[in-house]
C-alpha cells in the first residue's frame, strides 16, 4: 500500500508474484528456471492489469500474434514500488519472475496467467509505483 489513496484506488486487482526456483538444465548447460517448484511466492499484491493496446480484454486478444500455434498478447501491470520483490529490479528478473492469479477485488479470477515479465520500469520519479510490460502466452 502506498501513501497515495488515489493511485491505490486504481489498483483494482490483486496478483501473485512467483519467483522461479532453479533446476539442472542437463547436458552441462547449467540451471534453468523451475516454475513447478518456486523459490518464493507473494500473494495478494495490489495490482492493475491492462491490455497494452486498447482498453479492453477483447482488444488485447485482437492484438495477439500467433507463433507455432501459441497466442502471444501484450499487457501492462502496475503495482506499488514498496510491494515489488527486491529481485524484480535485477538484470535478469524477466527470467526469474512471473505474475499469476490476477483477481478482482471480489476474488474472481480475471486471468490465471502466467504473465511473463518483459520489462520493469519505475513509472514515477519518486519511486512511487512501477509499470511492468507483460506477455501472456496461451
CATH (domain of 101): 2.40.10
- Measured CA to CA, the distance from residue 69 to residue 62 in angstroms comes to 15
Rounded to two decimals, what is the model's pTM?
A: 0.79
Provide the residue range defining the domain that includes 15: 5-137
**Three-class SS of residue 26?**
coil
Report the number of distinct structural domains present in the chain.
1
Per-residue pLDDT of the chain (138 residues; tens, 9 = 90+): 455 665 567 888 999 999 998 887 777 677 788 888 888 899 999 999 988 865 445 544 544 555 556 677 889 999 988 888 888 888 887 788 999 999 998 999 999 999 999 988 887 666 678 999 998 877
Q: Are 63 and 93 in contact (CB under 8 A)?
A: no
Amino acid at each position: 500500500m502506498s501513501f497515495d489513496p488515489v493511485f491505490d484506488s486504481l489498483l483494482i486487482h490483486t496478483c501473485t508474484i512467483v519467483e522461479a526456483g532453479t533446476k539442472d538444465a542437463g547436458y552441462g548447460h547449467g540451471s534453468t528456471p523451475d516454475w513447478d517448484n518456486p523459490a518464493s511466492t507473494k500473494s495478494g499484491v495490489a495490482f492493475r492489469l491492462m491490455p497494452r493496446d486498447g482498453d479492453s480484454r477483447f482488444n488485447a486478444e485482437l492484438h495477439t500474434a500467433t507463433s507455432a500455434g501459441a497466442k502471444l498478447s501484450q499487457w501492462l501491470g502496475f503495482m506499488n514500488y514498496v510491494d515489488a520483490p527486491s529481485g524484480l529490479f535485477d538484470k535478469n528478473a524477466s527470467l526469474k519472475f512471473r505474475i499469476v492469479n490476477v483477481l478482482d477485488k471480489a476474488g474472481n479470477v480475471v486471468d490465471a496467467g502466467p504473465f511473463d515479465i518483459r520489462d520493469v520500469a519505475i513509472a514515477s520519479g519518486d519511486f512511487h509505483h512501477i509499470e511492468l510490460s507483460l506477455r501472456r502466452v496461451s
